Amino acid sequence: MLSARRDRHELVSASLAARDDGELAALLHDASGGAVGVGGGASVLDVDGVRVFAKRIPITERELAHPHSTANLFDLPTFCQYGMYRLAGPGFGAWRELGANLSLTEGVLGGESEAFALMHHWRVLPGRPPVASEHQDIEAVVAQFGGDSAVRVRLEELADARSSLVLFLEHLPDRLSECLNDPLASAEAVERQIFDAVAFCAAARCSTWTDTSATCARTTTRSTSSISGWPRRPGSTSPTTSGSSSPGTSTTTPTTRRCDW
């Protein structure tokens, strides 16, 4: 399985890397899908006969001025995370998601885990997806976070963003929850694979608060996750190292979701 994925990854990566910005922008323009959420826009591309998932993450001028920085550039409170409130927070930055995917792709290609989607390529391109409906009323989001001024500044700069960090990822079409028609027969294998993925994240020092059940997909033989987070490795900065406290990757969420399932 990994050998086939690696071969496909090398083919797609080379094809995308050989295209200039205009060619990639045209590819995105012609793509199917077009869903928009708080994390950006999503579409499915055809790259030399291989389906590729593209995620367009709006990136602010402040982030562009600090390339690859995973620091808390907006001084956001650490409780400002996706999925923890009715209206999602603005996220800590596009570079963190890139760093997490680079770290996880390296682990998959190195044979440490097969539990994550490979990132074939990335590029900063002009243009951005529409502002998500949850973030159109900035004042409502700010009020939810206690009127925090840093949240307002982050949301305003995101709304003004004119470029996107585009991640070109392995396409995993089937969500795990839709594939488990016989959960009793699959539960043990799925449980083992999800906890293997969490253990790999901990070993790779990559933190995430993503809803595991919502982001797990299913290949022919195993569960595979596509997540966002930040790398906690040398050279990266999480809220923990920028003056705030935050938990690391833990088994609590997958345990809870498994019980609910």
The rounded distance, in Å, linking the Cα atoms of 194 and 198 is 6
Q: For residue 160, what pLDDT is reported?
A: 97
Q: For residue 174, what pLDDT is reported?
A: 62
Q: For residue 261, what pLDDT is reported?
A: 46
Residue 106 clears pLDDT 60, i.e. is over it: yes
- Collapsing DSSP to helix, strand or coil, 22 comes out as helix
The answer to whether the pTM exceeds 0.85 is no
Report pLDDT digits (tens) over 178-232: 556 666 667 777 777 777 777 777 776 666 555 444 445 444 444 444 444 444 4
Extract the tokens encoding 218: 């299913």
Higher pLDDT residue, 84 or 8? 8
Structural domain of 142: 2-260
Kindly give, in sequence order, each residue whose CB lies less than 8 Å from that of residue 12, ignoring residues fewer than 6 positions away: 47, 48, 50, 52, 120, 121, 168
Higher pLDDT residue, 114 or 26? 26
Kindly give, in sequence order, each residue whose CB lies less than 8 Å from that of residue 18, ignoring residues fewer than 6 positions away: none
Residue 234 clears pLDDT 50, i.e. is over it: no
- Collapsing DSSP to helix, strand or coil, 234 comes out as coil
Percent of the chain at pLDDT above 90? 52
Q: For residue 131, what pLDDT is reported?
A: 94
The rounded distance, in Å, linking the Cα atoms of 167 and 121 is 6
The rounded distance, in Å, linking the Cα atoms of 230 and 93 is 9
> How many domains does one find in the chain?
1
